[in-house]
């Protein structure tokens, strides 16, 4: 046995302390995401998995968050925390059109929207960009982005070339002109900087009920899915993502799967079909009652999701393609 394999009591205590610090961080992250997204717990664990993967790559400044939405994900990822009275289901609209028209309930900034922050993030983002002005109005209320840009990612980005050390995006598969978008990422990242993309794979189609469309009555999948696959025009397989990166002059430095087929199957149904009804119910409660029920709900879901919220969690009998991968890319030309 080599010396390095011998665990001294002190070394073993250090390893235990590191493991327990990582475990504490994972649990606290899950709790912060569940508290914000409590009525969609399946989104909460997916976001916590994203954040855990992202924690392994520094978001060197200046950094831009593309398709940042309301900014809550990146704010929580960066160590921010809200008062338990805040969650993303308070400033919503069009709840009666979510099912019939696939309306985005979050695309609305209520007057006076001011999330109560109890812990500031440990770093700021230089910029955030999104196509929806109401989501950016919410992001502005966080005081976390130096600059916010309303624009469609299918067009040339309104930012200077080579202006960011880090370009982060967890929604690239929402962009139709994906090749143009990737060329833009290459243009705006600095030489020596990193592009970090978290992309879903089209294996997702096999991990959801769409795969059984022939056996399900008309309307069933519309209730379950609410047209979410229509929002992902550039969803594709791993080989195609990597050839897109190569065409845009981006070299893959790291490719880390972090969402398993089992995660995707659990997420597939989740509470999505009843979310607008849950939101209406929750928002009809007195603030005191809402906070009390939410507190028990969050505790219950943290306990339930704790074993699931590990990036290798799998109940499959055979290994299969992951559902989402984190790519760290650098300019190759
Ligand atoms: C699933 S959300 C993710 C938001 C945020 N990154 C997060 O993690 O919460 C997808 C985001 O992509 C934005 N988006 C979709 N298509 C876009 C486009 N063509 N240009 C810019 N943003 C777009 C949407 O407005 C939405 O905010």
pTM here is: 0.93
* Residue of 326, 235, 236 lying closest to 46 (CA atoms): 326
Report the nearest atom of ligand 1 relative to the CA of 135: 27
Look at strands 117-119 and 250-259 and give their pairing. Answer: unpaired
In a domain, 288, yes or no: yes
In a domain, 2, yes or no: no
Per residue of the chain (333 residues), what is the pLDDT tens digit? 344 445 566 666 666 777 888 899 999 999 999 999 999 999 999 999 999 999 999 999 999 999 999 999 999 999 999 999 999 999 888 777 777 777 788 888 888 899 999 999 999 999 999 999 999 999 999 999 999 999 999 999 999 999 999 999 999 999 999 999 999 999 999 999 999 999 999 999 999 888 888 999 888 888 887 777 888 999 999 999 999 999 999 999 999 999 999 999 999 988 988 999 999 999 999 999 999 999 999 999 999 999 999 999 999 999 999 999 999 999 998
In a domain, 21, yes or no: no
In a domain, 7, yes or no: no
209 lines ligand 1 (CB under 6 A): no
159 lines ligand 1 (CB under 6 A): no
- 3-class SS shares of the chain: helix, strand, coil, % to 5: 45, 20, 35
Report the nearest atom of ligand 1 relative to the CA of 154: 19
In a domain, 5, yes or no: no
Residue 300, domain extent: 27-331
In a domain, 235, yes or no: yes
193 lines ligand 1 (CB under 6 A): no
With a CB cutoff of 8 Å and minimum separation 6, the contacts of 243 are none
The phi and psi torsions of 294 (rounded to 5 degrees) equal: -60, -40
Is residue 145 within 8 Å of 71, Cβ to Cβ?
Answer: yes
In a domain, 102, yes or no: yes
Number of domains, the chain: 1
For atom 14 of ligand 1, which residue has the closest CA? 67
CATH number at residue 321: 3.40.50.150
- String of DSSP letters for 43-95: HHHHHHHHHHHHTTS--PSSEEEET-TTSHHHHHHTT-EE-TT--TTSS---G
Report the nearest atom of ligand 1 relative to the CA of 176: 19
Report CA(171)–ligand 1 centroid distance (Å).
Answer: 6
């Amino acid at each position: 046995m080599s010396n390095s394999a011998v665990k001294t009591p002190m070394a073993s205590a250090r390893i235990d302390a590191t493991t327990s610090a990582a475990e504490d961080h994972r649990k606290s992250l899950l709790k912060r995401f569940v508290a914000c997204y409590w009525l969609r717990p399946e989104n909460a664990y997916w976001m916590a998995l994203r954040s855990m993967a992202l924690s392994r790559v520094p978001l060197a400044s200046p950094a831009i968050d593309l398709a940042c939405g309301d900014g809550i994900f990146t704010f929580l990822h960066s160590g921010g925390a809200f008062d338990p009275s805040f969650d993303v289901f308070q400033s919503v609209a069009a709840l009666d059109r979510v099912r019939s028209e696939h309306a985005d309930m979050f695309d609305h900034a209520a007057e006076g929207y001011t999330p109560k922050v109890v812990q500031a993030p440990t770093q700021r983002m230089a910029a955030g960009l999104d196509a929806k002005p109401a989501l950016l109005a919410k992001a502005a209320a966080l005081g976390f982005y130096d600059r916010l840009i309303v624009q469609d990612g299918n067009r040339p980005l309104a930012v200077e070339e080579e202006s960011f050390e880090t370009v982060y995006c967890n929604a690239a598969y929402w962009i139709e002109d994906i090749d143009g978008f990737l060329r833009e990422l290459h243009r705006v990242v600095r030489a020596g900087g990193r592009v970090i993309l978290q992309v879903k794979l089209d294996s997702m189609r096999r991990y959801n009920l769409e795969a059984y469309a022939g056996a399900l009555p008309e309307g069933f999948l519309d209730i379950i899915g609410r047209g979410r696959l229509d929002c992902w025009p550039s969803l594709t397989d791993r080989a195609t993502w990597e050839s897109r990166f190569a065409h845009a002059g981006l070299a893959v430095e790291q490719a880390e799967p972090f969402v398993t087929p089992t995660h995707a199957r659990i997420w597939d149904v989740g509470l999505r079909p009843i979310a607008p009804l849950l939101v209406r119910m929750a928002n009809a409660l007195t603030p005191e009652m809402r906070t009390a029920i939410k507190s028990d709900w969050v505790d219950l879901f943290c306990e339930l999701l704790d074993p699931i919220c590990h990036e290798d969690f799998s109940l499959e009998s055979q290994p299969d393609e992951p559902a989402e991968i984190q790519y760290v890319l650098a300019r190759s030309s």
